[in-house]
Structure 1
Amino acid sequence: MPESVYLNGEWLAPEAAKVSVFDRGFLFADGIYEVVPVYQGQPFLLEHHLARLERSLAALAIESAGQQFWLELIDDLLARNQSDNALVYIQVTRGAEAKRSHLPQGPLAPTIFASVSAMPVHWDVPAPAQATLLEDIRWLRCDIKSISLLGNIMLKQQAQACGALEPILHRDGLITEGASSNYFAVKNGELYTAPTDHLILPGITRMWVIELARELGIPVHEQAFAVTDLAQLDELFLTSSSREVQPIGQIDDIIIGQGGCGKVTEQLVHAFHASKRQLSAQ
């Protein structure tokens, strides 16, 4: 548990942090969040995470506290909690008012909360995990990093009940993403991943892996692959800030490739680790 969290201008012990029962985040999930990985005290790809935070706030018409505020908040949070390898969590809601009303009754001061949690850092190639195929039941603005995650939670519970690490979600026969990850397929040495549109959250790790792949000369196609393609894939992996690059060896009863970590996936795992080392050395 963190020693200190930030809430609306105050630094508090976690158990002392309280929000109003009329906060619109509590009542309506009217808010957004962002998660930033930190390696050796250095926030990873911070400018991209903050740009996504600003996009999410703008989509909900919630006023931002500004770039300098976020930078100072993260620095202070890491210093107060003496965090080296961690995940920074920032949540912003529209704020609280005197009564429950679907439409805000006037301008509100946003509620800003931030905390940090320890993150184990690995340098190996993760063992292949199992996924399960599920219909994407979430809303149609997945590009907003909304705190409304009920659909994601229901899907994760289903996946867990199937013994899977993460669901692979699909709409109209096409793969979108996971409940808290993006997916990449590998076929004939080339990468395929869903396009950046309203049906997926454009992951920062996803973006970085695409950049690393192109630097390595691996062709990347941002076009959705189909459910019917899954049995013919050579490799499959997911990406997220907490799991980085995670190979998938099996989807329900479908074995991907030989069920191990493929060469392209392994190459990208090592490239990702190298980029972490480079950042930590700066």
Structure 2
Amino acid sequence: MSSTVYLNGDWIAAEHAKVSVFDRGFLFADGIYEVVPVYSGKPFLLERHLARLYRSLREIGISVADDAFWHELVHDLIKRNNYGDANGLIYMQVTRGAEASRTHLPGPDLKPTVFATINPLALHWDQPAPVRITLLEDIRWLRCDIKSISLLGNILLKQQAAAVGVIEPILHRDGLITEGPASNFFAVRNGALYTAPKNHLILPGISRDWVIELAAEAGIPVHEEPFKVADLPQLDELFLTSSSREVQPVGQIDDIIIGDGQCGPVTAALIEAFHASKRRHLGRVS
């Protein structure tokens, strides 16, 4: 596949994409991003992803174009990179722009930098094998609800997890579980789902919200409320959600075996419900 990216009004080869060294995204991580999955050339849950993009932009005071611009950008990116029948992840980043004076307080007339690219994504229809994760203290900033490009805390946590051979940490603050650095979490106990409530300490995941809706359709109770670290040994099931992993069962947290260490029935039902929603999105009947 070709690799054509969008940068500030131009469509160019990825290797030719460049931004100023004075861009505030480079100097201060002053910007936001959004990720949209594409299944067989069709963006999945696009309106929800764009709504979160707009919210992040509002929260940090950046104004960029209108709704029509973003829809056209997404569909042009798919077309120009020949993803009409392929699966991918669209990455869109907006920074506050560039100014020669390096100052914490930005000037009033900056023109935002807008960048977008698409990369391959494996589309699966199976039940993922349960993974092992680790429990770490949440060291990130206090506005995790903004999808900020300032991800150093997330990176450090992912490195800690990789150092002990696991794919993802699950994070806690003051004894309460928040989320993962690249995922939301759901616990299962007595047939009901538990997940952290939406607030400034978690990213409002699109897949998180979608799974809550799928659970409601399946008659599975959902409790959006604080969940204690001390309750982890009593869980029947645990899974992670994100746009790239969809629904990922967890079999073990450090030395704690979740249930019997396998994918439990509630998680399995939601994996299949997620697959069914993809089939509907693609116009497949089975």
TM-score tier after normalising by the smaller chain length: over 0.9
Q: Partner of 1:101 in structure 2?
A: 103
Structural mapping, 1:1-282, within 5 Å: 3-83=3-83, 84-281=86-283
Contact 2:251/2:263 (<8 A) preserved: yes
- 1:119, distance to aligned residue in structure 2 (A): 0.0
Counterpart of 2:135, as a letter, is: L
TM-score using structure 1 length: 0.99
Q: Matches of 1:144 and 1:104 in 2, distance apart?
A: 19
Contact 1:2/1:14 (<8 A) preserved: no
- 1:84-135 Cα offsets, whole Å, 9 max, x none, are 2000000000000122111112311100000000000110000000010000
Q: Matches of 1:231 and 1:25 in 2, distance apart?
A: 41
Counterpart of 1:126, as a letter, is: P
Counterpart of 2:200, as a letter, is: H
Contact 2:31/2:96 (<8 A) preserved: yes
- 1:210, distance to aligned residue in structure 2 (A): 0.1
- 1:2, distance to aligned residue in structure 2 (A): 5.1
Counterpart of 1:73, as a letter, is: L
Counterpart of 2:278, as a letter, is: K
- 1:161-183 Cα offsets, whole Å, 9 max, x none, are 11111100000000000010000
- The alignment of Structure 1 onto Structure 2 pairs a total of residues equal to 282
Q: Which runs of 5+ in 1 are unaligned?
A: none
Contact 1:143/1:200 (<8 A) preserved: yes
Contact 1:89/1:114 (<8 A) preserved: yes
Change in 2 beyond 3 A, CA 1:86/1:25: same
Q: Matches of 2:53 and 2:2 in 1, distance apart?
A: 22
Superposition RMSD on alpha carbons, in Å? 0.9
Counterpart of 2:209, as a letter, is: M
Q: Matches of 2:164 and 2:226 in 1, distance apart?
A: 25
- Determine helix, strand or coil for the equivalent of 2:70: helix
**Could you tell me the percent identity over the aligned residues?**
71
Q: Matches of 2:107 and 2:56 in 1, distance apart?
A: 22
Contact 2:97/2:112 (<8 A) preserved: yes
Counterpart of 1:47, as a letter, is: E
